[in-house]
Amino acid sequence: MAIVKRSKNDVVDTDERSGARDFPGLTADLGDENQVKRRWAARDLAIYSQAAPVLIERLFLEQDSSVREAILISLTQIGDDTAVQGFIRCLRSEDARLRNEAIDAMKNLPDAVAPIMKNLLNDVDPDVRIFSVNVLESLRHPQVENWLIRVISHDENLNVCGTATDLLCEVGTLAAVLPLEALKQRFPDEPYIAFAADLALRRIREA
């Protein structure tokens, strides 16, 4: 088999997918120094339900964008509780790229995310609550508006409520009118809350 140079320090077989394609072999390839092997391993691990922990751990280490994309796709395809819990770990990371990738992935897992959304929106960390509202932006689930109404009705953090109000501008219905009016009363001295709530109310009434 021919050998080609990919970089100054990287010599690999032309067929990076020729190794063992079972779980142990793919797991080993996921840590290979060649990003093509890692990318193929990340893709092929999608058929193994037990791969989620391995993929999550690699996601925290991986720097190559194409490999990261393959990992995220496979985790979304697996879509079990372990994958979702891994994404929640990402939400708590200081790495903004990791958080944003997790948010985008969770948006594609409405059935898996829905059972834990209440807990996420009640997390002790307000940043996690904000990120959870961001997940709701594109989460295809019938409870999205109800979750947002619960946030603006009970959350004491101004930024969390502001983020939820912004999203209600897009998804709010008449069910959100009274909660939005009540929100303005809860934060009477906050100009942004008044602005965002009034904008949401206007869009709802014009719809």
pLDDT by residue (tens digit) across 46-75? 999 999 999 999 999 999 999 999 999 999
Buried/exposed 194-207: b ≥16 CB within 10 Å, e otherwise: eebbeebbeebeee
pLDDT by residue (tens digit) across 138-185? 998 999 999 999 999 999 999 999 999 999 999 999 999 999 999 999
Q: Does position 83 have pLDDT exceeding 70, yes or no?
A: yes
pLDDT of residue 58: 98
pLDDT by residue (tens digit) across 5-53? 344 444 444 456 666 689 999 999 999 999 999 999 999 999 999 999 9
Global confidence as pTM: 0.87
Q: Domain-by-domain residue ranges, the chain?
A: 142-207
Q: Does position 1 have pLDDT exceeding 80, yes or no?
A: no
pLDDT of residue 61: 97
Closest CA to 149 of 190, 115, 183: 183
Q: Compute the average pLDDT of residues 84-106.
A: 97
Cα maximum dimension of the chain: 73
Angstrom CA distances, 194 to 24, 130, 161, 201, stand at 56, 19, 11, 10
pLDDT of residue 29: 95
Contact 145/175 with Cβ under 8 angstroms?
A: yes
Q: Is 115 buried (19+), middle (13-18) or exposed (0-12) by CB count in 10 A? A: exposed
